[in-house]
Amino acid sequence: MAAFDYVHPLDSLVLRYKNGRQLDLAPAFSQLLSQQLQDRGLLPLTNTCLIPIPGSRQSLSRRGFNPAAEFAQQLGKKLQLSVEHFVLHRHNQHLKQSSLSRHARRATAAGLYYCSRRLDIPHAILVDDIVTTCSTIDSAARALLAAGVQRVDALAIARTPPKHF
């Protein structure tokens, strides 16, 4: 589930958040998403933790922060859930996902994430900033399930509607 679709004019908010370092937008994004969860009767969540998608070294160096982790922190406060920042890891990758086709994203993301230890977590929610093809979410979810997580769901600030990709 995403707070909104990644389309004009909302896409500019996400870009201001990610590239303009307007971190003060994260609480508003978390409010929008928590309201959707509430409206759909999905709250409260129990025996659940939030796990942000780790950013690449290049992105972290360029931005100085991980947008998914900052959003997860705000969402965790809003939903009163713990945020596990160091259970999911990313192999070093040099290709920027946004520059790839749908097929290439899937191929590149396969096996990109891993967990360094067993996780006895009943329910984990992956948190990302923008979901386009779900290849990142799929790869990260597979890593969590392989590590012992029983159920994995995903939340994001925005999602690209299928017709736009």
CATH of 2-164, one of 3.30.450, 3.40.50, 3.30.200, 3.10.450: 3.40.50
pLDDT at 164: 55
Give residue 15's Cα distance to chain centre.
Answer: 15
- pLDDT at residue 65 is higher than 90: yes
pTM over 0.85: yes
Place of tokens 């096996």: 111
- Between 77 and 102, the more confident residue is 77
Q: How many C-alpha atoms does 134 have within 13 Å on its Cβ side?
A: 10
User: Which residue in 82, 65, 78, 94 sits closest to 34, CA to CA?
Assistant: 78
Orientation of helix 102-109 relative to helix 135-146, angle to 10°: 20
Average pLDDT over residues 57-83: 96
> Is the distance from CB of 82 to CB of 50 less than 8 angstroms?
yes
pLDDT at 102: 60
**Residue 64 in tokens:** 């100085």
User: What phi, psi does 155 have (nearest 5°)?
Assistant: -130, 150
> Is the distance from CB of 50 to CB of 76 less than 8 angstroms?
yes
Query: How far is the C-alpha of 62 from the C-alpha of 55, rounded, in Å?
Result: 11
pLDDT band at residue 44 under the 50/70/90 scheme: very high
> What average pLDDT is seen over the chain?
92
- The per-residue pLDDT for range 123-161, each reduced to its tens digit, is 999 999 999 999 999 999 999 999 999 999 999 999 999
pLDDT at 163: 73
